[in-house]
Structure 1
Amino acid sequence: MGSLVDRRLCERLGEGVRAGDLRSGEKILHLIRHGQGSHNLEALMQNSVCVCATDGRPNCCYNNPEHFDPRLTDLGREQASSLSKRGLTPDLIVVSPLTRTLQTASLAFPETKIPMLVKEDIREVLGLHECDRRRKISEVRKDFHYPTFGDELDEEDLRFKSYYPELEPHEHVWKRGTNILDWIAERPEKELALVTHSGFLRRFIVGSVACYDDDLKRSWTTGEARSVVITFD
């Protein structure tokens, strides 16, 4: 099963586009980056980006132990809540197992009956930053009762540990994205939301979807949603 972005609707979709407008083989994906987390706020306050390669891991703000599986800030919660006003109508919400994405999904789609499924394949790029570790699944479940946690989720964060302290190669992230696309292709839903992370989204768009549209390739702000139509052939 192959996948590609339909150039006809490669730009962000208008609010009026719904699943009923789709042609055969098409699906709508609402791609959502989580709201601002505590690690994002520290990076903003320090006017800093990752410095692991130049100054070493201990000096990178994303490796502050206080930001282990970080929560949303007040602004992050506001950003997530504002997504609920966008009028997005997915049939399924797919969420990264990290706390900030689960918080975002819960606030963006509050008190709904939309199924929410947690998938490891859409989590942030693995191995380098403390902020991208996740808690034990049993701990996460205590905080989030509504989502369905699949059997493929290990109790311990074995995926992160398999790369630590090196960064997960681009090719591995692309493969995760391709796995998700193939999985989506087999799903009955026509409109899905993916609540995930900026690093994953950048690699997903270019490496998995193979779309080079400048607007879709640019960096994602916290709490941002972009919608695309994917054609599965």
Structure 2
Amino acid sequence: MEKIPSGACKTLHLVRHAQGMHNLESEKSRDPLTSFEFFDAQLSSQGWQQVRQKRKDVCANGLLKRIELVITSPMSRTLQTAVGIFHGEDQPELSDVTSYEEGNGRISDNDQQPTFNRPPIIALEVCRERLGKYECDKRGTISHYRSHFPAVDFSLIENEDDILWEANKREPFGDVLARGMKFINWLWTRKETEIAVVSHALKTVKYVQSAFLMKV
């Protein structure tokens, strides 16, 4: 059996965003998915609780020390989840979810030197939810996200506005898979070997997994 060269393997930690407001409301009906009220849906209160718990978990099990890079979809709920888990409070058991929620997970400029590792976070358009039709999956401007999530690198996103989302057309699954392949091809160009990917629904994650298996 041919030996795999050192550095040729990567460990991916696939993370679905915490509960969003659209998830909470869609349990009652499908209307919130197409309602402008849930445009680029943010995390619910329960979602923020999930972020706090996951932050505790990654700190307690040592995972945060190993993660070299975090990649996230450029949507509010994934950005909030990524920043909250990987750049959150140094002592999560003391964190105030309410104030953290109001700040969109921002880290104050007055914070002291962090005790825990804060890996770089990169936003990628190809990691978004399946595109089209649902307002909750339409993103805002990159300028807006930059102002609310200053720790995230948005430099790889070319367009200020969302030119991918279409109101009357749902993205074909084949196109989702193609996005997954594009992402995996890009991933292999990175030097990091242990990476967290914060994305969307289980079905979308499965397409990323399929693309990864096809690549290897």
TM-score by length of 1: 0.71
Any conservation in 1 of the 2:67–2:194 contact (CA below 8 Å)? yes
Q: Tell me which of the two structures has the higher relative contact order, counting C-alpha pairs closer than 8 angstroms and 6 or more residues apart.
A: 1
2:36 is matched with which residue? 65
1:188 shift after superposition: 0.4
* Residue from 69, 75, 82 that aligns with 1:105: 82
Percentage of pairs with the same residue: 34
Residue 80 (structure 1) aligned with residue 85 (structure 2): no
1:177 is matched with which residue? 180
- Report how many aligned residue pairs link the two structures: 177
2:148 is matched with which residue? 143
CA RMSD of aligned residues (A): 2.0
2:19 is matched with which residue? 36
| Paired residue type of 1:25 | A
| Paired residue type of 1:155 | E
1:202 is matched with which residue? 206
1:113 shift after superposition: 2.8
1:86 shift after superposition: 2.7
Deviations 1:13-54 (A, max 9, x none): xxxxxxxxx96521110000001110000012x1x4x5xxxx
1:210 shift after superposition: 4.4
Shift >6 Å, 4+ stretches = none
Any conservation in 1 of the 2:20–2:42 contact (CA below 8 Å)? yes
| Secondary structure in structure 2 of the residue aligned to 1:186 | coil
Cα separation, 1, equivalents of 2:55 and 2:144:
26
Cα separation, 2, equivalents of 1:28 and 1:151:
22
Cα separation, 2, equivalents of 1:153 and 1:193:
22
1:205 shift after superposition: 2.5
Any conservation in 1 of the 2:138–2:165 contact (CA below 8 Å)? yes
Cα separation, 2, equivalents of 1:86 and 1:144:
23
Q: 1:188 to 1:24 in 2, by over 3 A?
A: closer
1:105 shift after superposition: 0.6
Any conservation in 2 of the 1:70–1:100 contact (CA below 8 Å)? yes
| Paired residue type of 1:34 | H
Any conservation in 2 of the 1:117–1:149 contact (CA below 8 Å)? yes
TM-score by length of 2: 0.76
For structure 2, the residue ranges without an aligned partner over 5 or more in a row are 89-116
Cα separation, 2, equivalents of 1:130 and 1:69:
7
Cα separation, 1, equivalents of 2:156 and 2:212:
26
Taking the TM superposition and a 5 Å limit, the aligned residue runs for 1:16-35 are 25-35=8-18
